[in-house]
Structures are given as C-alpha cells and as structure tokens.
Structure 1
C-alpha cells in the first residue's frame, strides 16, 4: 500500500507496528514516542500523526485532534484534513468546513480527498449548490481520481440535476472516449433529459463516437432524433445532425439501417404538408444528401427518388454530384416494394390534409379509389354517342330493363347479394330507397356530372363474369364538354366498349370522340359494339355495313374487336354471345400495375382540383365581398326608406286624426253657445227668480250632457272607426310595399332570408281603446251661471231682492232672458270640449309610438340583416387577407404532395412500374 493510500485510510500508524500487530497500537506508539523523546533532537511529528490516527479509529476524536494539532512537518496538511474529519465526526460541521477550506496544498490527492469530504459535508448540511460547485471543481482538477465521477453522477441523478448529469456524461465521454459514458448519455437522451440543451453541445462527442464505434454512434443519433420528435427542437436537431454527417466519412457499406429508416421518416414528416416550404427548404437538401450517403439497401432507391423529385421541384438546391449519383442508382438498381401501399399512403395523407384544412369531403374520389382497389372485379365502361342504343344494350346485358331513358350521369352496375343503390358525390354518399327512388333521381338530376350512381344488385351475369358495368351519359362527339363532364370517369375502366349506331357507324363525330378518348386514356383498350343493325332492311346492306365498319375500326384501332347486338336476337342467346365476347376482351394481365397508374392519375387530379378549389375560393370570396357590399348599400337604402315611411305614415295618420278631432271640437264650440242661449226659453215670468240661476245652471248641464254623450260621442266614435279603417288601408299598403321589398331581397339572397311582417295588432288596440273611451261620457258639472262675474252677481242679487215681489217679476224675466240670450259662453264651450277630449289625450300622444310599433319588426329585421351582411363582409375580407398574406398555407402542402408523387413515380422506374396513365 502506498503512503498516500495509508494517509487516506488513516493507516499510517501501521508503519510503526511491524511485528507488534497483536499489541494495542496505542501502547506500541506510546513506547515508540518515549524512545524518540529520549533523543537529542527528537522527531515526534510522525509519531503524533500516527497516534492521532489510532485515537480517531478508537473514536477518541478530541485526543486525535490534540495530537494532529502539533504536526509541523510535511504531514501537516494531512493532519489538518484529519482534524477536520474529526470535527465532522463530532458533529461540528461549521468548524470542519472552515478547516477544510483553509487547507492549501500542491498534492492533487490531498486536494481531491478534501474536496470529497467537503462534498459530503455540504450534502449533509443541505448546501447543495456548494456541493455541486465542489464536486465539479474536483472533477476538473483530478477527473481520474477513483470514484470522483461516479459519486458526482450518483449525486446529480439523486438530485435530478439532469443538466449537470448530462454535462458530466458528455465531458467524460469526450475525455475518456469510454463507451460506458456514451451509454450513460444515451440513457439520459432516451429518458428525455437532454431536450432543453442545444444540439450543438453534443456534436463533438458524437463525432468522437463515430470513429470509436459506429453502432453506438447510430444508436445515440437515433436516440437524439427520437427524443425531440414532438418538440420544437426537432428542426434544430435535424440541422445539427445533417451538418455533423456532412463532415464525417460516411460509407454506405457500413450499413446504417436504423439511421436510414430514421432519415426516411424525417423526410416523409417534413414533406407531409404540416410545414411551409420556407421552413424546410434550408433543411431538405442536406437531409437528402446525407440520406443518400447512408441509405441501406432497403432505402437506397427511395432516397435516390426523393433526391430527383426534390431537384425537379426545386432545381439547383442539391449538388450536381448527388443528383447524378441518384440518376445512376435509379437506372441501375431494381426495386421491389409494395408500390400500391406506398401510393395509398400518399393518397391517405392528401385526404387527411384535405380534411384538416376543410377542403371538402372528397367522397367521389374516395369511392373511385375503392373501385380501383377491387382487383376481383373487372370494370367495363360502356359509352357512345347520344342515341346510339347504349342504354338498350345495357338492359340486355343485365337481363332487365333498368333504364327507360338516356343515361344522365355515370352509373356503376355491380354484383351484390342484396339491392343497394347509392348516389356518390364529393359532398356525400346517399343511400337511395330503391329502384323507384333511383328512377326519380335520374329524372331529377339530368346532366348531373358530379354524381355517380352505384347500383349493386344480385345479378347472375355480373357475378359469373366478375365484372362491373359502368354507363355514362352519351358523348357529344367532340368539344370540351365531353372532356370535362364525361371522360373524367373513363380512368376507372379496365376496358371501354364503344357502342356504334349501324345507321351512322364510324362517322366523323365517332372518330372525334374516339380521338378524345385515346388522348385521355391511351392505355385502356377500346372495343366496339355495333347496334341497330336489324334496322337495315336489306341483309346484304347490313353485311356490307358491318364489314365496312369493322375495316374502318381496324384501320383506326387494329386490335379492337367488334360485336353485333340486335333486339331481333333471342335475349338469352345474345347474353351468352355477349358473355363469350366479354371473356375474349377481358384482359386482367398486369391489372395491378394498370390500376396503380390510374390511382396516380386520380391523385394528380385531386391535387389539381385542390389548386383550382383554392382559386375558386378566392374568387368566391372576392365576389362575395363585392356582392355583400352592394347588398349592404341596398339594405341601408331600404332602412332609410322604411324610416321615411314610418315618419310619413305617422304624420299622415296623426294629421287625419287631428282633422277628426278638430271637426268635433269645432262642432262643440259652435253648438254649445247656441244651445245655452236657447235655454232662455226655460225662463218664464212666473219663474222663481230667487233660485232661477240654480235651476237654469242645472238644466244647461243636463242639455250639455245629452248633447255630448248622446250626439257628439257616437259621432266621434263613427269618425274614429272610419279613421281606423283608413289607417288599416295605409298599413296594408305599407305591408304590401314591405312584402315586395322582402321578395326583392330574398330573390337576390336566393333564400327566404327576410320576412318583413308588420304588427297589425296595433289596429286591434286602437279599436279596443276607442270603443272603451267612446262607450260613455260623463260630464262633470260646469258652473255656467254661478260664477262671480259682475253681471251674474247683479242678477243673482236682484233675483233674491226682488224675486218675492210680483210687480218686479216682469222686469227680472226680461233681464234674465236678455242675459242668457246675449251671453257668449265661449269659456263654457272650451271647458266642456276639454272634458270631452280628455280621455283621448293619451291615445293621441301615443299615436307616433303606435305607428313605430307597427313597423318595429321589419325595421329590426332590416337592421339585423345590415349587421349580418356587414359581418359577412368583414369575415370574407379577413379570409382574403389571410389567403393573400399566407398563400403558402395552401400552396406549400400541395407542392410537397407533388414532390412525393414524383418521388413515387421515380421509384416505379426502378421497379419497372408505370410512370403515368
């Protein structure tokens, strides 16, 4: 054992024991101390140091401290360290810490031991930051010291201090190039402990591992990329790994199987449509370059195809040498893969993207793909010019009259155990109730080019021949209408059977239609059925027409076969002949490859459709904004019209009401004074003039009550009813105007959006109120002759004074009569008029409100519609701004899908597959 090991383990004292091992060390050292003390120049430090160790082991820490405090030779630093150890054992950690930190030495072993003791002390006292700092300094100063790094690692892991744990693993891996430390680092990565650390921090360690152990390198890189797959650092890691690999001596012969698959996954993820091109275009070239350099046998063709497809879409982004190498690999290597599965994966990715970004249901193309995947069923498409006898032939073929009129849309007749009929559109797949519903749908949807009817039925001919018959609307014989509306269904077919009318066989229109079909689907074989030959009376003419038609067809399509159909033939026999004919033209060789080519066509069509849909959506939004702005202006105009109408009707009805009131008011004002003056006839010479004014006042009030209650109030009631009827006419005219207004707007909206119904209940309220207010009138007694005017006072006084004297009655009679006849009574007329109209004051004041209530509903609806249209304008403008601000949101995914499609097509070259339909 070396001296340093003895000092560390506190066994230095054994140097003095030798042959006295069985004797108490304290006694042996005591005797040695006595012998040394007898010398002239004794050296007692080493003995005291050894005695301190023995007392320490005996747990006599105070005595040990006393001994070590008197060490003055080269062992003094070790003695100080031991003193600190003793104080630590005594539970005096602060004192121990002070002594540890005061030790100064050039001995790395001593310094490391002091650091480890301090490390343990800090942990014990909970001073974790100090513990971290101390152990990291110890590692930096003496990393190879036994257990320093292992104790540090254990501490970091216990404290879940993953940053320092990872740092330790990386530093030790770089320093020692030990695979053990790389394995530890890999474990941290797999457990997600490195996600917050910049990728560049690990590059040096990865580069060292590459040359140390390539398998471990592949494992660690894979762990890094897997750990950040769902994190924001994924791009940073890909970028860092790409830069690292570009600077390493990668060789395909090293068989990077795991890394090759990982790069394939990364590539497919980047071009899946979830990222913008600007986010990945700086990353893809390096990724593709590295993928080609490390791709294993399984992925080399895929990587080369990816390079070529990316270079086609983004020329110049990849080095010429990489592109050239990819071309050579594609041309030399043969590639076997499940091409159909790859193609379906691409199709499903596009559909998933379309669903995410609300690009419609796309049920029609999904249905078509299902048909293409049904390899047990052969698809024969029957077509021909309108009126060629195509529907009649299909009825014969299926053995029943399924169509009694020309076909209006594409129909797929398929075998099934039970009758099932569905209409397939992009928006939905709608089951039809039965044959009657099917016929109604055919009649209702003439020229419905966006629909396909799937007609599944238990039919022996379809089952025996494993065939599906597709019928289309008749061709026009040229023009874009055929191409756009009918010919797009032709790609579903494995064979096309073209029906010719014997009366106009192979005319110019037929040849024009066939040229279009050949241009669109050059790889689908075309055969012919000559119909209506039985309409040719002369058999020789019929035979000549058949031969001429067959010759013309063969000059146009040498491999085409011709079949003759006629309603004169026995139906069963004709079916048998048809069955033999179909068997002769049914070609299932390389069906999977051909169906794959069709699937590629529909993927391209789908992508093109999305691009057009984006343009259509933008155009629709622009048109919607323009249209809504126009509607907004018109609606505001309608609101202003209605406001003016309300004001006009209010003024008209209020004016007519006031005219009635004024008429009654004038009649009362004119009649009352006259009526009161006529009351002079009630004065007689024998009247009791002492109370004549009282009796006469009562009689006048009685007459007024009769006049107002029995004459004027009924008249007022009749006039008010006439006014209400006039108002009803006015309101009806207004309602008619609003109905016409609503109809005009609804025609523009294309829906019943506005219903401008006024509240005619207002008229009922008016009738009820007027009936109630005119049902009776009670005049409050008016003081006509009992007021304190000078003339009245004089008459009343004279009556009381002279009324009892008979000779004075003639005079009083004349005076009273003259007074009654000459009085104006204007104030009385005003008073009774006020009483008469008092119940109607609230009614009159509420007229304006009532007219407004009548129009309240339409006005509210118009205002709400104005707000709705304004909101639609804002929404559409925001969508337009978003589309114009971020056009890549739509364009980029489609571009990347195009890259994948071209990659797949390049792969088919290596696999000897079909490049296009």
Structure 2
C-alpha cells in the first residue's frame, strides 16, 4: 500500500505494528515512543501521528487531536486534515472548516481529500453554493480521483442542479470517451432537462461520440432532435445538426434507422403549412441533402422524391450532385411506401388547413376521395346529352322507376342490403327519408349541382357486376359541373340517342372529357333502339355509329339498348358488355393518380378561393361604403320627416288652442257683463257682490263645460284625423324606402314600421281632458281694487237706507257692465288650458316615438355597414400585408404533392393528371 493511500485511509500506524501483530497497537506504539525517547535527538512526530490515527479509529477524538497537534514534520498537513476530520466527527463544524481551509500543500491527493471532506461538511451544513464550488473545483483539478465524478453527479442529480449535472456529464464523456458517460448524457437529454441549452453546446460531444460509436452518436442525435422539436431553438438545432453531418461526411452504409426516421418526420412537419417559405429556404435544402445521404432503404425513394419536388419549385437551392443522385434513385429503385395512406394524410392536412382558414369544410370532396378507396367496386359514370334516355336506362337496371324526370343532381347508385339515401354537400351529409324524399330532391333545380345524392339499395345487377353507377345530369350547358365528376370514374359510359347518334355537339363534349381525363376509357350505350323503323335500319345505324365512333375512339365499345327489349336477355347481354369494358388492371395505381388529381385541384381551388375572397372583400367594402352613404342619407330623411311632422302637427294643435282662447276671451267678458241684469233695486247691496261673483263663476263653468269642451273635443278629433293622414303619408314614404333597401340587400331586412299607437294614446288623452272640467272659483268681484272696495263699502253702509238703493243699483249695474274683465279672462284661460299645455309639451316626444322604430332600424344598419367595412378592410390589410401567410402553405402542399407524384405516378408509368 502506498504512503498516500495509508495516509488517506488513516492506517499509517500499521507501519509500526507489522512485526507485532499479536499486540494492541497502543502498546506497540507506546513501546516505540519509549524507544525513540532514549535517542539523543528523538523524532516523535511519526509515532504521535500514528498514535493519533489509532485513537481516531477508537473514537478517542480529543487524544487524537492532542497527538496530531504536535506534528512538525512533512506529515503536518495530513495531521491538520486528520484533526479537522476529528472535529467533523465531534460535530465541531466551524473548527473543522477553519482547519480544512487553512491547509496548504502541494499534494494533489491531500488537496482532493480535504476538498471532498469540505464538500461533505458544506453539504451537511446546507451551504450549497460553497459545496457546488468545491466539488466543481475538485472535479476540474483531479477528475480521475476515485469516486470524485460519481460523488459530483449524485450530488447534482439529488439537488436537481441540471445545469452542473449536464456540464459534468458532457465534459466527462468527452474527456474519458466513456460510453457510460455518453449514456448518462443521452438519459439527461431524453428526460428533457437539456432543452434550454443551446444546440451548439453539444456539438463537440457529438463529434467525439461519432468517432467512438455511430449507434451511440445516432441515439444522442435523435434524443437531442426530439428534445428541441417543440422549442424555439428547433430551427437552430436543425441548422447545427445539418452542418455537423456535412462535416462528418455521414453515409448510408451506417444504416441510420432512427436518424432517417426523424429526418422524414421533420421534413413533413416543416412543409405541413405551418411555416412560411422564407423561414424554410435556408433550412430545407441542407435537410434534404443530408436525408438522402443517410436514408435507410425503405425511405430512400421518399427522400429522393422530396429532393426532386423541392428542386422543381425552388431550382438551384439544392446542389446538382444531390439532385442527380435523387433522379438516379427514383429511376432505379423500388419502394414499399403505403402511397395511399401518405396521400390521404396530405389530403387531410390540406382540408384541415382550409377549414382553419375559413376556406370551407369541403365535405363533398372528402366523400369523393373516400370512394377512391373502394377497390372492390368499379365506378361507371353515365353521361350524355339531355334527352338521351339515361334515366330510363337507370330505371331498367334498378327494376324500379326511381327517376321519373331528368337528373338534376349527381346520383350515385350502390348495392346495399338496406335502403339508405344520403345527400352530400360541402357543409354536411344528410340522410333522406326514403324514396319520396329522394324524388323531391330530384325535382329540385336550384343549387342541385352543389349536392351529390347517394342511394344505397339491394341491386342484383350492381352486386353481380361489382358496380357503382354515377349518374350525371344531362349535358346541356352544365358541362363544367359534370366534368368535375369524371375523375371519380373508372369508366365512362356515354349514352347516345339512336335517332341522332354521335352529333357534333356530342363529339365536342367527348373531346373535352378526353382532354381532361385521357386515361379514363369511354364506351357507348346506343339507346332507344326500339324507336327505329325496322331491323335493317337498326343494323345500319348501329354499324354507321360504331364506325364513326371508332374513327375518333378506336378502342371504344358500343352496346345497343332499348327499354322495350326483353329485360332478362338484355340485362344478361349488358352484364357481358359491362365485364368487357371493366379494366381492373393497376386499379390501385389509377385510383392513386385520381387521388393526386383531387389533391392538385383542391390546391388550385384554394388558391383561387383566396383571390375570390379578396375580390369579395373589396366588393363588400365598396358596397357597404355605398350603403353606408345611402343609409346615412335615409336616416337624415327620417329625422327631417320627424322634424317637419312635429312642426306641422304642433302648429295645427296650437292653432286650435289659439282659436278657442280667442273665443273664450271674447265670450267671457260679455257673459260677465250680462250678469248686471241680476242686480235689482231691491237687492241686498251688502251681499250683492258675493251673489254676483258666484253666479259669474257658474256661468263661466257652464260655458266652458257645455260649449268650449265639446268644441275642443271635436277640433282635437279632427286634428288627430289630420295627423293620422300625415303619419300615413310618412309611413308610405318609409315603406318605399324599406322596399328600396330590401331590394338592394336582396332580403327582407328593413321593416320601417312607425308606432301608430301614439294616435290611440292621444285619443285617450283628449277624451280624458275634454270629458269634464271643473273651474276653481275665480275671484271676480271679491278683489281689493279701489273701485270694488268703495262699492262694497258703500253697499254695506248705505244699503240699509231705502233712499240710497236707487243710487247703489245704478252704481252696481254700471260697474258690472263697464268693468275690465281681462284679468279674469286670462286666469280662466290659464286654468282651462293648463292640462292641454302639458299635452302640447309632450307632442315632440310623442312624434319622436312615432319615428323611433324606423330611425333605430336605419341606425343599426348604418352601424352594421360601418362594422362590416372596418372588418373587411382589416382582413384586406392583413391579406395584402402578408400574402405569404396564405400562399406559402399551399405552395408547400404542392411540394408534397409533387413528391408523391415522383414516387408513384411517374415511377409506374401512370399518366399524371393536371
């Protein structure tokens, strides 16, 4: 055992007791001590050091400390370290720490031991920062010291100090080139604790592990790839790993199973429509260049097709050597990719993207694509000019009059144990309620071509021939909609009318079908053969029609048909004909070509939809701005009408009141003066003024109630009638306005109905106000005016004397007849018209209520137009500011489409449909 190991393990004392193994160490060391004391210059430090170790082993820490405190030779640093260990064991941590930190030595082992003990001390005392600093310094200075790195790793992991744990593992893996340490790094990456570190942090480790073990290199690379996949640093990692792979010159012969897989997954995730092209242009070429270099055999064709498709849309972005290699691979190698599944994934991705961007749900297109997957059924599309007898032919096949009128929608007939009928449009699939509902849909003409009717029912003919019939509306101006169904067919059966077969119009339509779907075979049904005059003429027409058809379409077959022929014999012959025109060779490849066509046409339609949406937004903004202006003008007209009517109606009401006030002003004074007739020479002049005042009030009350109120009632009813005519004219004007706007909007949106209940309220109020009036007694002759005062005083003083009555009679009579009653008239008018004035003040409010409904409707329409303008202008701004947000995803979908075309259609010789 080396000296340093003895010192480390505190067994230095064994050097003194090797020859005295049967004696206790204390006795041996005591004897050695006594022997050393006999020398002229004794050196007791070594013995004392050894004694200290023995005492320490026996937990006599104080004696051990005493012994080690007297060491003055080269063992003094070790003695200090041991003394600190004793303090540590005794729980005197501060003393131990002071001693540990005071030790100065050149011994790497001693320094390491001190550091490890100091680390344990700091850890136990909770001084974590100090513990981290000490253990990191120890690892740096003496990483090969037994258990140092393991202690550090365990400490960091227990504390979940992943930054230091990762640093330790990466550094040790690169330093020791140990697979075990690289496994630790991989485990850290897989647990997700390395995500926040820059991808470049691992570059050196990847370089090192590649030289040691390519499989472990692949494990670490894939682990890092997966960890960065959802992080902001994902693109940084992709750039970093691609540059690293270029520098390492990685090749296919290493069989990179996992790495090839993540390349594939990453590539397809990048072009799924989530990113802009400008984000990918610097990334994809390197990614594809590396992928094709390391792709496993099962993916080499996929990678090559990806290279070629990207290079088509972005020429010169990938090195020509890589492109040439991809072309060579595509031309020579077979592949085992599930093409339909991959294409369906692409199709689904496009539809999900379209729905997320408000481009419609495309439910009808989904249904059509699903039909492509039914490889057990041959799709026979029936078409022909209107009147060619397709519906009769369909009824013959079904054995029932399913269609009693020309087809208005695309109808798909399938064999099925039970009757089930569905209407499929872009928004939804609706199950119809039996054949009556089906017939009703067939009679419908408006928007009929927007739907497909699928009718499933038991059909022996369809079952035996494994056939699905797609019946299209007659070709009479709607060829475009019918042409959209052509690619769902495996074979086209064109129905001709034997009375006028293969006309120029039919030849033109067939040319369109052939141009659009050149790979779909076209055959003919010569219908209505029973209408030909005789058998010889029938044969002539059949032969001439066949010859003419073959001059255009040499491979086409023709079948003569009539609904009046023997049905059993004819169906048997038709069955043979159907079997002869069914071409099931390479059906899956042909269906795949159709699926690719649907994907391409979907991308094209979505691009066009974007243009249509922009044009619709522009038109919507223009239209709403125009409507906003017209509606604002209309609102001003409503307000002007309200103001004008309020002025006219109020003026007419005031005129009635003014005339009655004038009448009262004229009638009341005369009435009061006529009361002089009540004064007699024998009247009691001391009370006559009271009697006269009472009578005057009575006469005014009767006059107002019996004369004025009926007249006022009559005038108000006439005023209400005139007002109704005014309101009616306003309503007529508003109805015309509503009709105009409804015509502009194309819907019954405006109902500018005024509130005629106002008139009923007025009638009720006028009835109430004119039904009865009680005048509060007016002080006419009981006031304290000088003349009245003198007259009343004189009456009281002189009225008792008979000789004075004649004089008082004349005076009173003259006073009543000549009195100024203007104050009385004013007071009567005020009291009588008080409630009518309140009614008058409410007229403006009531007329406003009459027009409130129309004003609210127009105001709301103005607000909606303004909101629509702002919303559409905002959408237009976004579309014009970032057009790539819409265009780029579709471009990337096209890259994927071209990739599948490279892998499938082009490679198998099947013609690509564009």
User: Normalising by the residue count of structure 1, what TM-score does the alignment of the two structures yield?
Assistant: 0.97
| Cα shift readout 1:769-793 (whole Å, capped 9, x = no counterpart) | 2222222111111222222233323
Partner of 2:22: 22
Q: Secondary structure at the match of 1:470?
A: strand
Partner of 1:760: 756
Q: Is the 8 A contact 1:292 1:300 kept in 2?
A: yes
| Cα shift readout 1:716-762 (whole Å, capped 9, x = no counterpart) | 12212222222222222223322332332233223333333322332
Q: Is the 8 A contact 2:661 2:829 kept in 1?
A: yes
1:743 to 1:378, Cα distance in 2 relative to 1, 3 A: same
- Structure 1 residue 620 corresponds to structure 2 residue 630: no
1:716 to 1:370, Cα distance in 2 relative to 1, 3 A: same
Q: Is the 8 A contact 1:656 1:723 kept in 2?
A: yes
Q: Is the 8 A contact 1:739 1:756 kept in 2?
A: yes
- The Cα shift of 1:227 comes to 2.4
Partner of 2:584: 588
Partner of 1:293: 293
Q: Secondary structure at the match of 2:450?
A: coil
Trace 1:5-84 onto structure 2 (pairs within 5 A): 5-84=5-84
Partner of 2:606: 610
- Structure 1 residue 403 corresponds to structure 2 residue 403: yes
Q: Is the 8 A contact 1:803 1:809 kept in 2?
A: yes
Cα distance in 1, alignment partners of residues 446 and 472 from structure 2: 12
- 5+ residue gaps in structure 1? none
Partner of 1:239: 239
| Cα shift readout 1:135-158 (whole Å, capped 9, x = no counterpart) | 111111111111100110111111
Q: Secondary structure at the match of 1:418?
A: coil
- The Cα shift of 1:703 comes to 0.8
Q: Secondary structure at the match of 1:707?
A: helix
- Structure 1 residue 650 corresponds to structure 2 residue 609: no
Cα distance in 2, alignment partners of residues 447 and 658 from structure 1: 61
Q: Secondary structure at the match of 1:31?
A: helix
Partner of 2:841: 845
Q: Is the 8 A contact 2:424 2:453 kept in 1?
A: yes
Partner of 1:661: 657
Higher mean displacement: 337-346 or 658-667: 337-346
Partner of 1:827: 823
- The Cα shift of 1:910 comes to 7.7
Q: Is the 8 A contact 1:108 1:142 kept in 2?
A: yes
Q: Secondary structure at the match of 1:106?
A: coil
- Structure 1 residue 543 corresponds to structure 2 residue 539: yes
Partner of 1:189: 189
User: Normalising by the residue count of structure 2, what TM-score does the alignment of the two structures yield?
Assistant: 0.97
Provide runs of 4+ in structure 1 moved above 4 Å: none
Q: Is the 8 A contact 2:414 2:455 kept in 1?
A: yes
Number of residues of Structure 1 aligned to a counterpart in Structure 2? 913
1:446 to 1:777, Cα distance in 2 relative to 1, 3 A: closer
Q: Secondary structure at the match of 1:247?
A: helix
- The Cα shift of 1:668 comes to 0.3
- Structure 1 residue 280 corresponds to structure 2 residue 280: yes
Q: Secondary structure at the match of 2:912?
A: coil
Cα distance in 1, alignment partners of residues 457 and 743 from structure 2: 43
Cα distance in 2, alignment partners of residues 133 and 428 from structure 1: 67
Q: Secondary structure at the match of 2:468?
A: strand
Cα distance in 2, alignment partners of residues 642 and 502 from structure 1: 68
Q: Is the 8 A contact 1:413 1:455 kept in 2?
A: yes
Trace 1:414-453 onto structure 2 (pairs within 5 A): 414-446=414-446, 448-453=448-453
- The Cα shift of 1:600 comes to 0.9
One of 570, 575, 581 as aligned partner of 1:579: 575
Partner of 1:863: 859
Q: Secondary structure at the match of 1:722?
A: helix
- The Cα shift of 1:263 comes to 1.1
Cα distance in 2, alignment partners of residues 380 and 33 from structure 1: 115
Cα distance in 2, alignment partners of residues 539 and 51 from structure 1: 135
Partner of 2:561: 565
Q: Is the 8 A contact 1:593 1:913 kept in 2?
A: no
Partner of 2:230: 230
- The Cα shift of 1:329 comes to 1.0
Q: Secondary structure at the match of 1:569?
A: coil
Cα distance in 2, alignment partners of residues 530 and 857 from structure 1: 66
Trace 1:13-162 onto structure 2 (pairs within 5 A): 13-162=13-162
Cα distance in 2, alignment partners of residues 153 and 568 from structure 1: 93
Cα distance in 1, alignment partners of residues 233 and 748 from structure 2: 54
- Structure 1 residue 311 corresponds to structure 2 residue 298: no
| Cα shift readout 1:319-350 (whole Å, capped 9, x = no counterpart) | 11111111111111122332222222222222
Q: Is the 8 A contact 2:489 2:520 kept in 1?
A: yes
- The Cα shift of 1:226 comes to 2.0
- Structure 1 residue 782 corresponds to structure 2 residue 778: yes
Cα distance in 2, alignment partners of residues 558 and 394 from structure 1: 26
- The Cα shift of 1:653 comes to 1.4
Q: Is the 8 A contact 1:529 1:563 kept in 2?
A: yes
- The Cα shift of 1:564 comes to 1.2
Cα distance in 1, alignment partners of residues 258 and 702 from structure 2: 115
- The Cα shift of 1:433 comes to 2.0
- Structure 1 residue 688 corresponds to structure 2 residue 691: no
Cα distance in 2, alignment partners of residues 792 and 88 from structure 1: 128
| Cα shift readout 1:265-291 (whole Å, capped 9, x = no counterpart) | 111111122222222222211111111
- The Cα shift of 1:250 comes to 1.1
Q: Secondary structure at the match of 1:794?
A: helix
- Structure 1 residue 504 corresponds to structure 2 residue 500: yes
Q: Secondary structure at the match of 2:631?
A: helix
Q: Is the 8 A contact 1:335 1:910 kept in 2?
A: no
- The Cα shift of 1:624 comes to 1.3
Cα distance in 2, alignment partners of residues 510 and 165 from structure 1: 80
Q: Is the 8 A contact 1:646 1:851 kept in 2?
A: yes
- The Cα shift of 1:352 comes to 2.4
| Cα shift readout 1:700-721 (whole Å, capped 9, x = no counterpart) | 1111111011111121122122
Higher mean displacement: 306-315 or 25-34: 25-34
Q: Is the 8 A contact 1:13 1:51 kept in 2?
A: yes
Cα distance in 2, alignment partners of residues 11 and 774 from structure 1: 130
1:445 to 1:388, Cα distance in 2 relative to 1, 3 A: same
Cα distance in 1, alignment partners of residues 840 and 887 from structure 2: 68
Partner of 1:884: 880
- Structure 1 residue 485 corresponds to structure 2 residue 481: yes
Q: Secondary structure at the match of 1:496?
A: strand
| Cα shift readout 1:113-137 (whole Å, capped 9, x = no counterpart) | 1111111110111111111110111
Cα distance in 2, alignment partners of residues 534 and 197 from structure 1: 84
- Structure 1 residue 670 corresponds to structure 2 residue 666: yes
Q: Is the 8 A contact 1:701 1:782 kept in 2?
A: yes
Higher mean displacement: 636-645 or 555-564: 636-645
Q: Is the 8 A contact 1:410 1:451 kept in 2?
A: yes
Higher mean displacement: 141-150 or 525-534: 525-534
Q: Is the 8 A contact 1:421 1:431 kept in 2?
A: yes
Partner of 2:413: 413
- The Cα shift of 1:483 comes to 4.8
- Structure 1 residue 722 corresponds to structure 2 residue 749: no
- The Cα shift of 1:915 comes to 4.8
Q: Is the 8 A contact 2:378 2:467 kept in 1?
A: yes
- The Cα shift of 1:531 comes to 2.0
- Structure 1 residue 916 corresponds to structure 2 residue 901: no
- Structure 1 residue 901 corresponds to structure 2 residue 897: yes
Cα distance in 1, alignment partners of residues 258 and 336 from structure 2: 20
Cα distance in 1, alignment partners of residues 38 and 379 from structure 2: 120
Partner of 2:694: 698
Q: Secondary structure at the match of 1:505?
A: coil
Cα distance in 2, alignment partners of residues 191 and 551 from structure 1: 76
Cα distance in 1, alignment partners of residues 911 and 538 from structure 2: 44
1:446 to 1:842, Cα distance in 2 relative to 1, 3 A: closer
Q: Is the 8 A contact 2:81 2:103 kept in 1?
A: yes
Higher mean displacement: 495-504 or 527-536: 527-536
